[in-house]
Amino acid sequence: MENTILKAENITKTFISGNERLEVLKNVDLEVKAGEWVCILGPSGTGKSTLLHILGGLDLPDAGSVMVNHTNLQSINHQQLSDIRNKHIGFVFQFHHLLPEFNVLENVAMPLFIAGLNHQQAFTQAEHALQDIGFWERRFSRTTELSGGEKQKVALARALVTNPIIVLADEPTGNLDVTNTESLLVTLQRINQEKKVTILTVTHNQHVVDYATRKFWLKNGKLSENSK
Ligand SMILES: Nc1ncnc2c1ncn2[C@@H]1O[C@H](COP(=O)(O)OP(=O)(O)OP(=O)(O)O)[C@@H](O)[C@H]1O
Ligand SMILES: [Mg+2]
């Protein structure tokens, strides 16, 4: 389809641990269209992070294919995959993965340095991303000084700084209290509606679903769509 941003077909992933075979994903199909906010719900350990990593080209499925912006991630080389991740996909990791030796602004600018922008361009764009999520005042703080919720905001700004076509967010409200959860979800909603950024969240927080335009359940390795 013309406006398909992400398409996964027949994704299968099994982990082997000792004598145990853990079939985490069994023939998972998912199509995400431009402008959607898709939310995948599922209890802890069902494979949400595993699926998101595969969809974002950070991990490989055992079988199946992932298309991002009409490019099959399995058919390209390592450098091309890095470029697609850098330019088109904004990733919010479950555990932030912020760099402790750098400040907030440097962390947010990092994907732009990787993309080859010079310091001035990268910092200007990073400042805009921080203004957008309301965290510009703290741009010179070390990330080690931030609370869990504040780190989550910085991680979101870093995911958005390249103007990606899709943001993949793993438990974006995982460390937040009720007020901060609400505030982060409203920010994501604004980004989705005003900037037309397509969003895919995975979470076990039911509340996130209220903001999504489509929701799915991941259970026993299978993905099923629920109407709202
Ligand atoms: N590299 C790995 N090797 C072996 N088993 C793994 C590996 N990564 C994940 N698993 C297992 O796969 C299952 C799914 O893990 P995953 O992290 O995707 O779950 P999740 O739904 O994101 O959970 P949570 O909500 O707690 O974040 C778990 O049982 C986990 O132990
Ligand atoms: Mg997880």
Which atom of ligand 1 is least distant from the CA of 51? Answer: 18
Give the dihedral of Cα atoms 16, 18, 20, 22; nearest 10 deg: -30
Q: Which atom of ligand 1 is nearest to the CA of 203?
A: 25
Tokens of 91: 């990733």
- Please, is 52 exposed, middle or buried when counting C-beta atoms within 10 Å of its C-beta (0-12, 13-18, 19+)? buried
Q: Whose CA is nearest to atom 5 of ligand 1?
A: 15
> In this structure, are residues 156 and 136 in contact, taking their beta carbons and an 8 Å threshold?
no
184 pocket-lining for ligand 1 (C-beta < 6 Å): no
Nearest in space to 111 (alpha carbons), one of 95, 94, 136, 92:
92
From the CA of 50, give the closest atom in ligand 1. 18
94 lines ligand 1 (CB under 6 A): yes
Total structural domains within the chain: 1
Instruction: Tell me the DSSP string of 140-151.
Output: TSBGGGS-HHHH
Q: How far apart are CA 40 and CA 33, in angstroms?
A: 15
Q: Are 202 and 48 in contact (CB under 8 A)?
A: yes
Please report which confidence band the pLDDT of residue 227 belongs to, taking 50, 70 and 90 as the band edges. low
User: At residue 221, does pLDDT exceed 70?
Assistant: yes
Distance CA 142, CA 2 (A): 43
Q: Are 87 and 166 in contact (CB under 8 A)?
A: no
What is the chain's mean pLDDT, rounded? 93
Atom from ligand 1 closest to the CA of residue 204: 25
pLDDT tens per residue across span 142-183: 999 998 889 999 999 999 999 999 999 999 988 788 888 898
Token pair of 100 as six digits: 């402790």
List of residues 6+ apart from 210 with CB closer than 8 A:
185
Cα 47 to averaged position of ligand 2 atoms, centre (Å): 7
The full length of the chain comes to 228
* Side chain identity, residue 228: K
By residue range, what is the domain housing residue 70?
A: 4-226
Ligand 1, from 24, 41, 51: best to mutate by most atoms within 8 Å of Cβ?
24
Instruction: Indicate which CATH number applies to the domain containing 197.
Output: 3.40.50.300
- pTM for this prediction: 0.94
Give me ligand 1 centre to Cα 118, in Å. 38
- CB of 42 within 6 A of ligand 1: the answer is yes
Q: Whose CA is nearest to atom 8 of ligand 1?
A: 50
Ligand sitting nearest the alpha carbon of 22: 1
What tens digit of pLDDT does each residue of 100-139 get? 999 999 999 999 999 999 999 999 999 999 999 999 999 9
Closest CA to 156 of 140, 167, 147, 145: 167
